[in-house]
Structure 1
Amino acid sequence: MSTIVNCPNCNKDVVWGEQSPYRPFCCKQCQLIDLGEWSMENHKISSQSGNDQKVTPDMIEDIEEMLAKAEQDFFK
């Protein structure tokens, strides 16, 4: 027996299996609509802690320093 799910975009029934290559979406169009919603930040996953950390200039400097060191080590 196949599992049936609803398309997150249009709510059509979708068989969860190889015959549905865009699962959980019913078609490529619904898949792309959902991708567009994520890219426009209309969908997001909230953090569990509730205190989203802001990137500070000090953090950026630390990251750049780590990347520079990694690059130097890589080419040795």
Structure 2
Amino acid sequence: MKTLTVNCPTCSEPAQWSSENSFRPFCSERCRLIDLGQWADGSYHVPGEIIAIEETGDDTG
């Protein structure tokens, strides 16, 4: 069975799409962390209106 190869969304290097690659769709942990950092700093975002969440003060869970 042939393993599917995709381009890493961060660096465009080939990455194996298989259970053996725990970083898929990325080629490495480094590329996965770069992507996560871009989501965290706001470089990546889902377009749409920002929704304000009201605090209820109820911490009972």
| Structure 2 residue 35 is matched with structure 1 residue 34 | yes
**How high is the sequence identity, in percent, across the aligned residues?**
28
CA RMSD of aligned residues (A): 2.0
Q: TM-score, normalised by structure 2?
A: 0.79
Gaps of 5+ in 2: none
Could you say which structure has the greater relative contact order, defined with CA pairs below 8 angstroms and 6 or more residues apart? 2
Q: TM-score, normalised by structure 1?
A: 0.65
Q: Per residue, is there more strand in 1 or in 2? A: 2
Please name the residue that 2:26 is paired with.
25
Structure with larger Rg: 1
| Equivalent residue runs for 1:1-76 within 5 Å | 1-47=2-48, 52-55=49-52, 60=54, 63-64=55-56, 68=58, 71=60
Q: Per residue, is there more helix in 1 or in 2? A: 1
Q: Residues 53 and 24 (structure 1 numbering): CA distance in 2 closer, same or farther, change over 3 Å? A: closer
Query: How much has 1:22 moved relative to structure 2?
Result: 0.3
Gaps of 5+ in 1: none
- In the TM superposition, what whole-angstrom CA distance separates every residue of 1:9-57 from its partner, at most 9, and x where no partner exists? 110111100221100110011111111111110001113xxxx1552xx
| Segments of 4+ moved more than 6 angstroms | none
**Number of residues of Structure 1 aligned to a counterpart in Structure 2:** 60
What letter is aligned with 1:2? T
